[in-house]
A and B are shown apart, each in its own frame.
Chain A
């Protein structure tokens, strides 16, 4: 009698729900997963090594490209690490702007997660609804930085520039020839960026309700997520989970509350926590986080409206001088030249700085030897420990659940492979 062996299935890297370039080698008994072995490294770009060869400021755009759906949060972790090293603090207005954009980023990330998670489980309509709202928030990114995704907006000592007084509007084009249609699209873009965001925060909770009607009480959605990939609070901590993966298991750990940074201690928000640690709880936690982010954005909009001020520190050894000063003032020219050629040197030492990114704790560890570039940069990507738990979470589930698990982990390979 021939020996009975388990079936090995190569899941990815070319697979519709591999979320980029995940390769899973699945050992299956029929449809039941016996062992899953994630293979990573297909998106490795050597960010950590590249950062060792560049002055501090020039590495900021690399951070956008790590977790490429929560761009500004990665920047935030990096600039905070460098600020800590230099012993400086960004002005309060910059702190509020960072808080606001961190939360915009969280909504961007969770919208992407919700859309793809639902698509993986087969509900394709939610995906397009989510992308509609992402579009509005990406316009905010574009309004402050000129780029829809890879913003490079945060700087050491503040942010690149103050928020624009005018929200960019749609212009007539071949696609939008209709005047009435154009007016409708531009209706909420008549004022400043803050006006646009205020309008967004007003209508957004209703839109989240809309997604929830499609999923939250849907029997099929519940059957596919309740009891799938259960992680106990103890195991979640032992496995190094963070963010919604940890909170979904019932551990109320959030760096925004536990180790407040930027303006998080000045705004009011709640931390949602799950009970069972399954995919459904993590879904509910993230949905509630979207609503809380909306609340934070609203508070930041109100504060920023009433409190003008500088958005980057005045120390021109670190932040570039105004362009007019650079043109007329000798010292300004020297500062400008030094800053954009050599950069600035940091005192020698080691720092670790982490932010509560959308996926969990995103940390940056810098060792400086006193030069104008880091001696060593280490990135702590939240997705990495989550993916490590794949085998434990998937064991005994079916093939279709693996897809739900990849979705619930909110995996992005930019940060895992770095």
Chain B
């Protein structure tokens, strides 16, 4: 009975995380359309609800009622399995995410490792989708995506190693606490680890297949890439996974380099005491939003990389820099 109650309690907690997350994803899509349209001198969605605020709901309803088309020569099982494989890890990763000092579903010691593992598993959804569709465009996309994720996973992993050396812990909560100090935002890791901060974020953009690294989707080359054959809810699930991953990367960037739930003004006279009253969760949310905005800004501004150029950037630039920084960070910590 106790075990049952425990499981029930955990389930309730999971729902309490996933539901708001799904809502965030829905409104992130609206934010994307609005932000990009204002950057492109147009208005964006403004028909459904006041100023288009119900657009994501309308989109969701539309996608739910659309037929899921199974291509004749597709591998049916894998075809249906792929979107699930894609969204599963994207949601599961949030289990170790500390929303504030003591608000975390699973406070495990190897939080960072767990995150790395799950974000890597997400790529299988894309590869399997590309293979199962039995379409040449989807297949090309699967190959591109596989190669790209491997390259950037390494850069990202090394970047995280630097963070864990600096923080001395794999636990996300401890990583945030390691950034606390009396200088407010000057204490955070983004200053001592500036190159790693940039590399981590850019790898994150590449990892989530977003512009300018969206070769897996590459609309103008391979039409829609791995989800070219998907329709209705199966497509929506890929979409949800992509946006959930974007929010996750934004939130992780905030946690690991921008002090998580810490107030940026802590320790500064007057301002510090005033802003310390703001709950930590609000700070985390604000920081996440800033990073999430960057994703949209990139998409409106940059042309798309070519596939081999992405590889070059990953293998020849990012990975060597991170390795050098691991050595440097290790040296400083040892001394």
Query: Which chain A positions have C-beta within 8 A of B324?
Result: none
Query: Which chain B positions have C-beta within 8 A of A125?
Result: 36, 39-40, 300-301
- A16-B219, A399-B222 given; A122·B304 CB < 8 A: yes
In the assembled complex, 5 residue pairs joining A and B whose CB atoms fall closer than 8 Å, in A order, are A7-B136, A17-B221, A129-B41, A218-B302, A224-B304
Query: Which chain A positions have C-beta within 8 A of B219?
Result: 16
A123: Cβ under 8 A from any B Cβ: yes
B269: Cβ under 8 A from any A Cβ: no
Query: Which chain B positions have C-beta within 8 A of A132?
Result: 41
B305: Cβ under 8 A from any A Cβ: yes
Query: Which chain B positions have C-beta within 8 A of A118?
Result: 303
CB distance from B315 to the nearest CB of A (A): 16
In the complex, the answer to whether A224 meets B223 with C-beta atoms within 8 Å is: no
Nearest 6 A-B pairs (CB), nearest first?
Answer: A122-B304, A128-B40, A123-B303, A17-B220, A122-B303, A121-B303
Compute how far the CA of A402 lies from the CA of B222 in the bound complex, rounded to whole angstroms. Answer: 11
Query: Which of B171-179, B185-193, B243-251, B306-314 lies at the binding interface?
Result: B306-314
Q: Closest residue of chain A to B37, judged by CB? A: A128
B140: Cβ under 8 A from any A Cβ: yes
CB distance from A11 to the nearest CB of B (A): 9
A-B pair count, CB < 8 Å, reads: 82
Query: Which chain A positions have C-beta within 8 A of B215?
Result: 400
Compute how far the CA of A402 lies from the CA of B299 in the bound complex, rounded to whole angstroms. Answer: 22
Q: Interface of B with A (CB < 8 Å)?
A: 36, 39-42, 136-137, 140, 144, 211-212, 214-215, 218-223, 299-309
Residue with the greatest number of chain B CB neighbours at <10 A, chosen from A118, A121, A124, A399: A124
In the complex, the answer to whether A400 meets B303 with C-beta atoms within 8 Å is: no
Query: Which chain B positions have C-beta within 8 A of A122?
Result: 211-212, 214, 220, 302-304
In the complex, the answer to whether B220 meets A220 with C-beta atoms within 8 Å is: no
Query: Which chain B positions have C-beta within 8 A of A224?
Result: 303-306, 309
- Mark interface residues in A394-411 (1 if CB within 8 Å of B CB, else 0): 000011111100000000
Compute how far the CA of A120 lies from the CA of B214 in the bound complex, rounded to whole angstroms. Answer: 13
In the complex, the answer to whether A223 meets B305 with C-beta atoms within 8 Å is: yes
CB distance from B196 to the nearest CB of A (A): 21
CB distance from B131 to the nearest CB of A (A): 15
A166: Cβ under 8 A from any B Cβ: no
Query: Which chain A positions have C-beta within 8 A of B42?
Result: 128
Compute how far the CA of A123 lies from the CA of B144 in the bound complex, rounded to whole angstroms. Answer: 20
- A9-B136, A16-B223, A128-B40 given; A31·B307 CB < 8 A: yes
In the complex, the answer to whether B40 meets A400 with C-beta atoms within 8 Å is: no
CB distance from A226 to the nearest CB of B (A): 12
A334: Cβ under 8 A from any B Cβ: no
A40: Cβ under 8 A from any B Cβ: no
CB distance from B311 to the nearest CB of A (A): 11
Residue with the greatest number of chain B CB neighbours at <10 A, chosen from A125, A214, A402: A125
In the complex, the answer to whether A221 meets B40 with C-beta atoms within 8 Å is: no
Compute how far the CA of A28 lies from the CA of B302 in the bound complex, rounded to whole angstroms. Answer: 27
A86: Cβ under 8 A from any B Cβ: no
Query: Which chain A positions have C-beta within 8 A of B144?
Result: 31
A15: Cβ under 8 A from any B Cβ: yes
Known: A120-B220, A221-B303, A398-B307. 17 other contacts (CB 8 A): A9-B137, A10-B136, A17-B221, A31-B140, A31-B144, A118-B303, A122-B302, A123-B301, A124-B40, A125-B36, A220-B305, A224-B303, A224-B305, A400-B215, A400-B306, A401-B306, A402-B221
- A125-B39, A129-B40 given; A215·B303 CB < 8 A: yes
Instruction: Enumerate A112-140 residues with CB–CB distance to B below 8 Å.
Output: 118-125, 128-129, 132
Compute how far the CA of A123 lies from the CA of B304 in the bound complex, rounded to whole angstroms. Answer: 7
Q: Closest residue of chain B to A406, judged by CB? A: B220
- A125-B40, A125-B301, A128-B41 given; A223·B223 CB < 8 A: no
Q: Closest residue of chain A to B300, judged by CB? A: A125
Contact of A218 among B140, B221, B223, B303 (CB under 8 A): B303
Contact of B302 among A16, A31, A123 (CB under 8 A): A123
Contact of A220 among B40, B222, B223, B303 (CB under 8 A): B303
Query: Which chain B positions have C-beta within 8 A of A128?
Result: 40-42
- A124-B300, A125-B300, A125-B301 given; A119·B220 CB < 8 A: yes
In the complex, the answer to whether B222 meets A214 with C-beta atoms within 8 Å is: no
Q: Closest residue of chain A to B299, judged by CB? A: A124
In the complex, the answer to whether B221 meets A399 with C-beta atoms within 8 Å is: yes
Q: Closest residue of chain A to B222, judged by CB? A: A399
Query: Which chain B positions have C-beta within 8 A of A10?
Result: 136
Query: Which chain B positions have C-beta within 8 A of A31?
Result: 140, 144, 307-308
- Mark interface residues in A1-30 (1 if CB within 8 Å of B CB, else 0): 000000101100001110000000000000
Compute how far the CA of A400 lies from the CA of B215 in the bound complex, rounded to whole angstroms. Answer: 9
Query: Which chain A positions have C-beta within 8 A of B40?
Result: 124-125, 128-129
Query: Which chain A positions have C-beta within 8 A of B212?
Result: 122, 220
Q: Closest residue of chain B to A132, judged by CB? A: B41
In the complex, the answer to whether A16 meets B220 with C-beta atoms within 8 Å is: yes
Q: Closest residue of chain B to A26, judged by CB? A: B136
Q: Closest residue of chain A to B139, judged by CB? A: A7
Compute how far the CA of A123 lies from the CA of B299 in the bound complex, rounded to whole angstroms. Answer: 8
- A121-B220, A220-B212 given; A399·B140 CB < 8 A: yes
